[in-house]
Structure formats: structure tokens, C-alpha cells
Structure 1
Amino acid sequence: MKFSVLGTAGALAGIAIGALMLANPVLAAQQAPSLDEMVSSGALPPVDERLPENPLVVDPVESVGTYGGIWHSALRGGLDNAWIARTVAYDGLVRYDREWKEIIPNLAESWEVSEDSRSYTFHLRKGLKWNNGKPFTADDIAFAVELFKEPSYGAGTFIKNPQNPVTIEVVDETTFTLNFENPNGTIMDELASVNGLTLVSLSKDYCSQFYPKYNENAAEEAKAAGFETWELWMTDRCGWATETIRWANPDLPFMNAWMIDQPLTGDATRVTFKRNPYYWKVDTEGNQLPYIDGLEMRVSDSVEEITLLALNGQIDFQDRHISTVANQPLFYDGQEEGDYRMGQEIQSSSNTMVIQFNMNHVDEKRRELFANKDFRIGISYAIDRQEIIDAVFTGQGEPYQVAPRPESPFYNETYAKQYTEYDPDKAAEAFEKAGLTKGGDGMYTFADGSPLTITIDTIASLRPEWPDMLELIQLQLEAAGIKMEINNIDRTLYYDKRPLGDYDAQVWGGDGGLDVVQEPRYYMAANAESVWAFRWQAWYNGSTPEIAEEPADWAKQQMDLYTQLRGEGDPDKRAELMTQILTIGQENFPVIGVSLPGDTYYIARNNLKNVPDTMFQAYLFPTPAPYDPFQWYFAQE
């Protein structure tokens, strides 16, 4: 199976994109019965007054559904915001289609792109409303751009990109233009991904009360509310994107199918969402979506408890945390008793675990070693990948470096397979080339004879298979003469160590196997997740100049190419540039992979309908959200 996630902005330059679903207004809108009493009492306007003039009409996966029911799932602890992002929050200006091939309309019903890919003009659906009934307009988008330009509010968005500043021009209530200083050929993919929530997440009517520009007393009121600055007050009330704090304020307006009911707080044992009566999508018969009344997410620190809930049929749909290789036979055998089914998920991940040695280590001796390609080659040859695959993944998968997956148009077998054979002799040869010296005890030391022990950080609570993999790697490296220690730490410390530079190596999952262009973190020092060269990426992005370091020439060459790629409107030329970046990555081998993940699975109750049998599993394509959970429904018995 070959498919492309290169994006479509350049190919659509200068062309207005009309609604790709049904374009005609729905003449006879209908609503969920649970809203009838509110409409009858006058507490809520009739459904035709709540919908925009041109609601988005969504084709069901199988059939038009019925209203009612609660979708039960679970969060792993109070910081598990990614599951909320993947179920509730995917409603930006545009979105990906269910095949992950095209960018299609959403809140914006059409758009135009200038020939130079600098200006993007969007046309919102007329009559859109926040869940509180207030109008959603171009002014809300402009407010978000304005606020994100504040140095101390938000981070990591394209609005803050110093290499390509953006301004916004509001044309009228439903029309606005994003004007970039330089060509931006990848912005449509950014807006169609899980990150697209950024621009549509802030209601000016609500959030402006915390902003000094619109409320001269904001700083004073912030202190009265217990916050040192207005920025902290704003963050607490209008947390952006998918940060956990966003789900802690029920007053924050939403444009999503479900809105906060019981918030995600530090001591919450469950989080609930209820239907948004102003949701702007309908089915092909004019029924306002969503079909499901609400969501309930159990908050548990125990994966075992979440797994047991699923086995007992107490979870309606979930993949996150529970769809492990170890659990697969349990779920397979328990389908009849638990009244659920298992569906297939094709992972976008390139690898089960990525080992990132810190080439920017603050210790000069370790920096020199970890930046030495021969050292990394030696480590790779010393790993018996098949032993790990057999022991941890019950034989599923194959030895693989961190490279595009076989399904990707960027697949390169040489890149994927280099240095993956288990060969102690080649490992020893590479270690000697790297300048290591073997002591009398058979263990390698630094060239000056000082002892060498490498420490690899991991988060056991995030991926339970990682400690098992690392324990095997620890034994394998010891047999090869490298002493290694496993450091299991919490996620906050894991991130805090990165800018300090005082860590040997960290492991993470293999992002970028299919979404190669959008997530190049392991192919080049692209972003803050490029832990192997954190200070190089800081130099490239200009985000933390106090720790930035000028990269090696090969890394700078990749950065120049990626800068060209981001400004290129032609998707074929973007692909050519990405191929050059990958070729340099292959040659310099910055990170080490273990194995190619096999397909994974989801659990769905048998009465939950309109769920596709097969899905892609990714973060930027935030499964299951692109498969339109608002059109899922529970079959009536």
C-alpha cells in the first residue's frame, strides 16, 4: 500500500477549494431528543438557528445513526491530554480525509492560495457559533494570532516561527488572510493536523477579558484572582491547543462536537463531556451531529485497571495504553465474553524504540564520543534485534532503523536496514574506530583509560515495553564491552533535562514513519523532539538562543533544504527536497532504531457503529478523530 501525506497546499495554489462533501444547505435539520426540552422552554434556540447557513454534511461510514449513549474510555493519569486531543479536539479550519490523502474543508468551507505560497485566504462558514451561542468569526482567528504573538503566551506554533513571521488581515466577518513573510508550502498540513486547533481555540468574546489590550484592569484582576501576571491568568482560563489545562475550564468556549462537563483537574477520577448544541455538522438526512450524547473518561494510573475495564466490556472504544502486544491474545480470546471486537490499526511509527545519544552533551568527552558515527554504528551492531523482537513482541516486526516505513513513498531499504544485523565483530571494529579502549575486564573505556558507563533515560509508565527492551539491550551491550545503566524517570524530569544538556541518551517512539515531511525529528535536527541534537535544533528554530549551538555542516545542509521545502508550493519539489534530507540522514546515522512495529489494534463494543474496520494510527493524524467519532453511534437493541 502506497500513499502520500505530503500535503496539498502548493498544488492548490490560486484555486478556491469548495466543500468536498455535500454542498447544499440542509433544509430540514433535526436535533438530538435530549435537547428538545431546552428548545421547548426557550433556553435554547431551534436547531435551524443554531446551525450555520452551510453546515458541513458528513457521509456516514456505514449508515445514518441514532441518537443517545455515552462513550466510555479511560485516561492514564491526569496528564493524559493526548487521548482527549484524539477524541474531542480535532476540528480546525481544515482537516485530513479518512484516507489521509487529501486536505478537506472543515470550519473553513473554502480557501485560496497565492501563487507564491505566501498568502492563504480562508472563508469560514457563515453563521458558525461557539458552544455558548456566541458567533465564531474571523475576529476570533485574528485574536488567536495576536495573542500567540505575545512572547510569554503559548509556544511551538507556526505563529511564533521567527524564520517566517505571519500577519493576519480580516476582510470581513467570515474571510481572513494569513500573510507569511516567506513562502509557506507546509502550512496546510500544519492546519490539517492535530495542531490545527491552535488557530480556532480562543474565543475573543471570552478570552479578551484576561488580556490587558482589551481589559485595562487585567493585570490587577489577575492578582486578585491569585495569579502573578495576566499571562498566567490567561493560561489558566484560556489554555491553548491540547495542554491539559485546556480541559480544566468548563467556561472556555469550544467548537467541537462535545464540550467539557466534569473538567480534568488534579484530583479528578473521571472526566466527562456533553454534546455541543451548536455543533455545525449534520448527516446526509439533516440530523445534527454528534449522535452520541457524551463521553466519560475514567482517570486511572493503572494500565492493568484500564485493560480489565476493556476486557469486561466497560470501554466502548480505545486503543491508547491497552493495545499492546502482550494484551493482544487476552483481547482476542475475550471478545465474545466482553461483547467487543478488535479492529486493525496501521501504525505511522517507524520504530518500536529510538535510542538518541546526546551529540550536544555538556561533558566534552561524552559529546565527542556520542557525536562519533562509528560509536553509534558499534552500538547498533551490538544489539540483537531479533532476540528483542522474539522476547518482547512475540516475533512481530523486523529489525529496522529509524527510517520511512515500507508503505511510505520515501521508503529506502538501504536506509531502513543499515547496521541492523547482530555482529559483535563489526561492533568491536566500530568501537575501536571511535577511539574506545578495551580494559582488562573486557569493558571499553574512553581513550584516556577513564571508565565508560552510558545511562539511557526512559519512562516506564509511558511505554511498558521499553524497560523490557532496554534490559535486553543492557545485557547485549555488556557482552559487547559497553556498560549501560537504565534510568527510569518521570516525564517532567525527562523533558527538563533536554535544555540542560546533561544526559547521555533518551529513548522515544519512532515518529515520522509515514508522516515523513511533517515529522522529521529523527532524520534531521528539526524540533525540540530531536533530543539527539537539542542545541542544534535550538540554533535552527531560534526558540532558545541561550543554549543554541551551531550545527555540523551536514546538519546545516539539511536545515537549508528543509527551509527550502517549507517554502516550496509544488509537492513534487517538496518530495525531492525531503529525499535529499533523508539521504544526508542515512549517511550520518544520527539515531538508532530497534524494530519496525507491526500493525496494532483497537477495541470497540459490538454495538458501536460507523467505526472503520481499519485505521491509520498516528499523532499528527490523531486517530480516531479523523474517522469522525461524531458520526459513530450505538445501535439500539
Structure 2
Amino acid sequence: MTRSRIIVLVCILALLTGALACSSKGRTRGSTGVADPPFRGAVPEDAYVTDASVGSYGGTLVMAIPSNPKSFNPIVSVETSTAWVINNVVFKALTDYDNEQQKDIPGVAKSWEASPDGLEWTFHLRKGLLWSDGAPFTADDVMFTFQVMFDPNIAASARDLLIQSDKTLPVVEKVDDYTIRFRLKEPNALFVAALNNAFPLPKHKWEKAYKDGQFEQTLQLNSNPEDIVCLGPYCISEFVPDQRVVLVRNPYYWKVDQKGQRLPYIDKIIFLIVPTFDTMALKFGNGDTDMIHDINPDAVEMMKRGETSGNYTLYELPGFNTTYLVFNQDTGVDKKGRPYVDPVKLGWFRNKKFRQAISYAIDREGLVRTTLFGHGSPIYSFDPPANKLWYCDNAAKYPYDPGKALALLSEIGLNRNGSGQLVDSNGRAVEFNLTTNASRASRVNTGTLIKDDLAKIGIGVNFQPGDYNLIVDKLRRSRDFDAVIGSWQSGVPPDPIEAKNVLLPGSNDYYAFPNQKAPSTEWEKRFTDLISVCSSTIDMNLRRKSYCEAMEIWSEYLPEIDLIVANYAIAAKNNIGNVKPSSLANYTYWNIEELFFKK
């Protein structure tokens, strides 16, 4: 940790433990008991009743996000910065996801059922729902939304999740004003989850713009907030670039608590645009914000020490963000006919015993202590234990064992010479180049430790961190690398089919050997077949059985060497009720309509 970084953390600690932690900048911090702005209209006939603790009305919740949203259009937006503000906050989908239970739950559709073969899905919409402008929500809005989503001229981010193997899309039918039916050509294990990203839009508001070919120009950052009609608990009120996004209660929102009181409880939400974590932590300590998510591992202990004086609670959760090491096993050549990988190195990299030896030679516990400051765990397969449904404990384990590593290397003709250097039968030294993102200190530290660990068994590592975009180009296009340290973040839901672009040898992000026309090994073929079963049936027992068998193969053959997973740390002020922290987005506020200020 650098001296300047230590100084910053000391300053943050001073704020967290000092008087400024009680500053409220004049905002209404507690409950007023009155909804302002007030609700309008009657409680919907099919209102969603939450099981959260009953709260009270009033107050303004302030949080920080690192960058401006790029759009307020939920159909064409793909950036995380946009999703933080609008997904499940301003817009709600047919189906939803419970981060706490890690399962799909009803959204604006109150229920659904599938045919036994998984080819027909029927969704029943909630009756009595109104858009934020007071217009009724019906099946016509859903039909319009899918017309827009399925239009090839619209860059709809969620469409890819619904494309079938013949490149067609499901047929959508209106059964009646509150029933929609989808007809598929093949089962889609992620169909319900895909609809979590299908946010209905009001036909009465945007049909003309769509017919005029102007849909992608709608719902922009400079749009009149009154035009951003929605079904979520909050509506856009104001956007000031590089400063804030302000949301106010949707007066027609359709969820209620167990006493029949309408949600949301909190009157107003403010997202401050704060580019760095250190500044976010300072604002949290100064009382300018009420919640903070994604606390850096090196700041966790410091923030824990400030809990009492700062009147907040820090939550440290098992995480989903994993770090891995991947070797280039690509047998291809570049445009000049030169192999992507030196043939001798390629022989090492494609040998599973070499990869297993490297896995044994890396001290994962040491990585956790040093790069995550103890706030994480070793992992040996693609999914971390935080994934309640898909974590498989049958993976092969590789505890730190340099002796075991050397024994495996000896089996493939790699042994230490008199000076302790690992060499092949021709006396060639075993060494390779390693890179990672230079702007991520934890990755650089990981690379340094791996270099040191492998030096202990005689392997030379030329570690040179580099520019992130250049490394992405090496992985996806030029293929000019030996080994890379990278990381994965989970989607919502954390279903393996969401990660097919990473898992399958034919995909672009299978970095060991991407875009294979056919699996290059028998084990990759078997693995591909198992993932295909997992994605082509809605039988959950069969899906899990197939996936765990696939993960057993993954951990034996190690197309990537999974190393560590960081814990996920967030903090929230103690005067906020119904906080259900999650290591899945939206972390502190995925249940934003249930949050309230305690009296």
C-alpha cells in the first residue's frame, strides 16, 4: 500500500470516528410519517404484498455512484452506470429477482406457467397497475415493448438472451388484456431470468416515436423528466451531469406492505456522481451519503473501527468477484502465419499436468492475506460458494503444495537442474510472460506473488502489467500472450448460462482457446455437451446434475486456474430499516421500495 493511500485512509478514519460523521447537511434523515409527494389513485387489485418489516414514510436517501448514466432508456442501455439508476428503481420488469434468496420472483407479472416441454410460457399480468402518469398498464404495453426489443434495427441489450439457435426469436401473443403467451422453438433454461431484463414501456407514450424511427433517441439524459413514464418505485426528477441524479416517489406504485400501506416508504432518492472510492468513503464518513457499496478490501478494517461513532453497520458478505490465471492454449496462427504461442510453450500450456502443477504451486491463502487483506477465500472452480444454487463442491482442490507441483512437472519431463532452474529434456528453461491490468493494484500484487511462488519451484515468470484495453485486445483478437491474470463478476441471476460466453470453447471469452469451430479436445467436447444440457432443459435437477459434472471436468483440466474470491463489503447508516445487503447488484438497494428511515 502506498504512502499516499495510507494518508487517504487515515483521513477517512478521522471522519468516520469524528463529529462530522453526524452531519446531515440539512436533509430530512428520519421518518416524517407522511408520504411527500403523496400517493394517488386506489391500491391496485393485484398489488404485490411484500414480506419485509413494516416501515414509515418520509426522508431522502443519498447514495454515490462512480459515473454518470449514459441514458434513461432501459431497452437500449447496457452500461452499468445506467443500470445503477434505472434498473428495478425506475423501471420494473415482468419478472424480478430476490437477491437474498437467489431466486426468480414475480414482477409486473403476478404469475406464470410453462408447458411440460418448455416451449410455451404464459404470463399473467397484475390488474389495476397504472403508469407513473396515471395511464393503465395492459398487455398492449408488453406487446409494444417486445415489438421494439425484437426489432433488428433497435440495439436492444436484452434481445440476445432470447435468441434461439436458429437465430429466430420467440413468438409473442396477446391472449387478453392481462395475459401474454410466448411460443419457443426450443427450451430456454434462462427464459424467466431473461425477462428480468425486459422492462415494459408505455405504448401510449412511445409508439409514435418508434413508428417514426426515433425510438433510440427517446429517454435520453436531456429528456423532460415528465416524459420518462415508468412502473418502478421512483421516477426521474432531475439530472445534473457530474453532480447528481434525483428520483421522486412514483405515486402509482403497485407494491404494499403487510398492513396494506403503499410503497415506497422513502420520498426521494439522490445518486451523487462520485468518481473514486476514496471520495465516496469520505462523503459517507461526512454524513453526505447514507450507504456505500463495494468497499475496497484495504479499507474494510478501517471502516469497521468507525461503526459505533459513525452510527453505521458494515456488512461483509461472501463475494462473487473472482480472480483467475489463464494460459494461452490457442493452436492458431496470426495473419503472417506465425503461431500465436511459441510451440514449446504451447506444449506445456496444453498439458493438464502443467496447469495442475501451477495450481498447486500458487499459495492461494497467501494471495488472500496479501491482496485482499484477509477479506476473501481461495477457490478452485468457476463458481464461488456465495452462489447458493450453482456452487458445486465436487471440484478438484489444489492446496498449496510445491512438492506436489514438482512431482507433476517431473511426470511430463520438466525437472530442476543443478542451479534449481526448471528445464525440459533439452535443457530449455521453463519460463513464460505474464500480464494483467496495471491500474488494478490487487491484480498487480497477485502477479507479483505468483511470480515469487513459481520461482520457488524453478519457473521463471516475466511479469509485466499493462494497459487494460491492450490486454483485452490480446485476449480477444491478437492472441499475443502467454498468460494473463483476470477477474470475473457475476450477473444477476448468477446462473451459469449467463456465463456461456466464458465457459464454452466456441465462445469469444473462453480465453484459453476462444472461437473453436469444434472442441479441440475430448474433454472440451464432453464439457460442451454438459453445458448444452444445462442450457436446454427447464428441469432444474437435471440442470444442476449436468453443471456439477461439467465443473468436475473444469477443475480437473483447468482451462483457467481459478484462484481467489473477494468478500463483498458494504455499509449503511443504522437509521435505515429493511437493509438486506447483497453481493449481487444492486447491493445495498436492490429492495429499494422496502427501505425506510426509522423513527
Q: Report the TM-score when normalising by structure 1.
A: 0.73
Structure 2 matches for 1:403-414, cutoff 5 A?
403-406=382-385, 408=388, 413=393
Deviations 1:39-69 (A, max 9, x none): xxxxxxx7225x53322122333x3322232
Q: Structure 2 residue aligned with 1:605, among 545, 567, 573?
A: 573
| Other structure's SS at 1:573 match | helix
Alignment partners' CA distance in 1, 2:250 and 2:417: 66
Taking a change above 3 Å as real, the CA distance of residues 72 and 188 of structure 1, as seen in their structure-2 partners, is same
Q: Identify the residue that residue 461 of structure 2 maps to in structure 1.
A: 483
Structure 2 matches for 1:249-328, cutoff 5 A?
250=225, 251-263=227-239, 267-320=241-294, 322=295, 324-328=296-300
1:554 aligns with 2:546: no
Alignment partners' CA distance in 2, 1:72 and 1:438: 58
Shift in Å at residue 249 of structure 1? 8.0
In the alignment, is the contact (CA less than 8 A) between 2:328 and 2:512 conserved in 1? yes
In the alignment, is the contact (CA less than 8 A) between 1:403 and 1:416 conserved in 2? no
Alignment partners' CA distance in 2, 1:432 and 1:416: 19
Deviations 1:356-390 (A, max 9, x none): 33434754425665444234223323322232222
Q: Structure 2 residue aligned with 1:59, among 32, 47, 51?
A: 51
Alignment partners' CA distance in 2, 1:526 and 1:285: 52
In the alignment, is the contact (CA less than 8 A) between 1:182 and 1:567 conserved in 2? yes
Matching residue's letter, 2:132: N
Taking a change above 3 Å as real, the CA distance of residues 257 and 182 of structure 1, as seen in their structure-2 partners, is same
Shift in Å at residue 107 of structure 1? 0.4
Alignment partners' CA distance in 1, 2:428 and 2:223: 54
1:147 aligns with 2:145: no
Taking a change above 3 Å as real, the CA distance of residues 473 and 183 of structure 1, as seen in their structure-2 partners, is same
Alignment partners' CA distance in 2, 1:297 and 1:95: 22
Matching residue's letter, 2:574: N
Q: Identify the residue that residue 173 of structure 2 maps to in structure 1.
A: 169
In the alignment, is the contact (CA less than 8 A) between 1:379 and 1:427 conserved in 2? no
Give me the identity figure in percent.
24
Alignment partners' CA distance in 2, 1:493 and 1:210: 39
Shift in Å at residue 493 of structure 1? 5.5
Q: Identify the residue that residue 358 of structure 2 maps to in structure 1.
A: 379
In the alignment, is the contact (CA less than 8 A) between 2:47 and 2:126 conserved in 1? yes
Matching residue's letter, 1:502: R
Q: Identify the residue that residue 37 of structure 2 maps to in structure 1.
A: 35
Deviations 1:590-631 (A, max 9, x none): 111223545x4321112111214xx44225xx43455x2211
Matching residue's letter, 1:255: L
| Other structure's SS at 2:297 match | coil
Structure 2 matches for 1:580-599, cutoff 5 A?
580-598=549-567
Q: Identify the residue that residue 74 of structure 1 maps to in structure 2.
A: 65
Structure 2 matches for 1:420-569, cutoff 5 A?
420-423=399-402, 426-427=405-406, 429-430=408-409, 433=412, 442=421, 453-458=432-437, 460=439, 464-479=441-456, 480-490=458-468, 495=472, 498-504=475-481, 505-509=484-488, 511=490, 515=494, 517-520=496-499, 524-525=504-505, 529-536=509-516, 551-569=520-538
Shift in Å at residue 260 of structure 1? 2.5
Alignment partners' CA distance in 1, 2:407 and 2:105: 53
| Other structure's SS at 1:380 match | helix
Shift in Å at residue 427 of structure 1? 4.6
In the alignment, is the contact (CA less than 8 A) between 2:325 and 2:561 conserved in 1? yes
| Other structure's SS at 1:284 match | coil
Shift in Å at residue 175 of structure 1? 1.1
In the alignment, is the contact (CA less than 8 A) between 2:436 and 2:444 conserved in 1? no
Q: Structure 1 residue aligned with 2:218, among 219, 223, 237?
A: 237
Deviation larger for 571-580 or 111-120:
571-580
Q: Identify the residue that residue 114 of structure 1 maps to in structure 2.
A: 115
Shift in Å at residue 428 of structure 1? 7.7
Taking a change above 3 Å as real, the CA distance of residues 578 and 513 of structure 1, as seen in their structure-2 partners, is farther
| Other structure's SS at 1:415 match | coil
Taking a change above 3 Å as real, the CA distance of residues 478 and 295 of structure 1, as seen in their structure-2 partners, is farther
In the alignment, is the contact (CA less than 8 A) between 1:310 and 1:603 conserved in 2? no
Q: Identify the residue that residue 19 of structure 2 maps to in structure 1.
A: none
In the alignment, is the contact (CA less than 8 A) between 1:506 and 1:531 conserved in 2? no
1:47 aligns with 2:51: no
| Other structure's SS at 2:462 match | strand
Q: Identify the residue that residue 576 of structure 1 maps to in structure 2.
A: 545
Q: Identify the residue that residue 15 of structure 1 maps to in structure 2.
A: none
Deviations 1:319-358 (A, max 9, x none): 22x2x321111111112332212234333x2x64122334
In the alignment, is the contact (CA less than 8 A) between 1:313 and 1:605 conserved in 2? no
| Other structure's SS at 2:465 match | strand
Alignment partners' CA distance in 2, 1:514 and 1:404: 13
Q: Structure 1 residue aligned with 2:583, among 609, 617, 630?
A: 617
Alignment partners' CA distance in 1, 2:245 and 2:546: 44
Alignment partners' CA distance in 2, 1:459 and 1:139: 50
Shift in Å at residue 115 of structure 1? 1.6
Q: Report the TM-score when normalising by structure 2.
A: 0.77
| Other structure's SS at 1:308 match | helix
Q: Identify the residue that residue 631 of structure 1 maps to in structure 2.
A: 594
Alignment partners' CA distance in 2, 1:289 and 1:84: 18
Q: Identify the residue that residue 415 of structure 1 maps to in structure 2.
A: 395
Q: Structure 2 unaligned segments of length 5 or more: list them.
A: 1-32, 70-78, 334-338
| Other structure's SS at 2:58 match | coil
Alignment partners' CA distance in 2, 1:552 and 1:148: 38
Alignment partners' CA distance in 1, 2:424 and 2:480: 18
Shift in Å at residue 179 of structure 1? 1.0
Shift in Å at residue 549 of structure 1? 6.0
In the alignment, is the contact (CA less than 8 A) between 2:431 and 2:459 conserved in 1? no
Alignment partners' CA distance in 1, 2:547 and 2:416: 38
Deviations 1:110-160 (A, max 9, x none): 222112111111111123233333433323333333333334523463223
| Other structure's SS at 2:528 match | helix
In the alignment, is the contact (CA less than 8 A) between 2:434 and 2:463 conserved in 1? yes
In the alignment, is the contact (CA less than 8 A) between 2:507 and 2:515 conserved in 1? no
Alignment partners' CA distance in 1, 2:146 and 2:273: 33
Q: Identify the residue that residue 138 of structure 1 maps to in structure 2.
A: 139
Taking a change above 3 Å as real, the CA distance of residues 503 and 67 of structure 1, as seen in their structure-2 partners, is farther
Q: Structure 1 unaligned segments of length 5 or more: list them.
A: 1-30, 37-45, 219-232, 239-244, 537-547
Taking a change above 3 Å as real, the CA distance of residues 185 and 71 of structure 1, as seen in their structure-2 partners, is same
In the alignment, is the contact (CA less than 8 A) between 1:443 and 1:483 conserved in 2? no
Alignment partners' CA distance in 1, 2:453 and 2:490: 25
Q: Identify the residue that residue 359 of structure 1 maps to in structure 2.
A: 329
Taking a change above 3 Å as real, the CA distance of residues 440 and 421 of structure 1, as seen in their structure-2 partners, is closer
Alignment partners' CA distance in 1, 2:231 and 2:263: 12
Taking a change above 3 Å as real, the CA distance of residues 274 and 412 of structure 1, as seen in their structure-2 partners, is closer
Deviation larger for 366-375 or 162-171:
366-375
Alignment partners' CA distance in 2, 1:578 and 1:495: 28
In the alignment, is the contact (CA less than 8 A) between 1:94 and 1:106 conserved in 2? yes
Alignment partners' CA distance in 1, 2:465 and 2:65: 28
Deviations 1:451-493 (A, max 9, x none): 96423232635xx422222222233334542323343434x66
1:399 aligns with 2:365: no
Matching residue's letter, 1:558: F
Alignment partners' CA distance in 1, 2:298 and 2:232: 35
Shift in Å at residue 305 of structure 1? 1.0
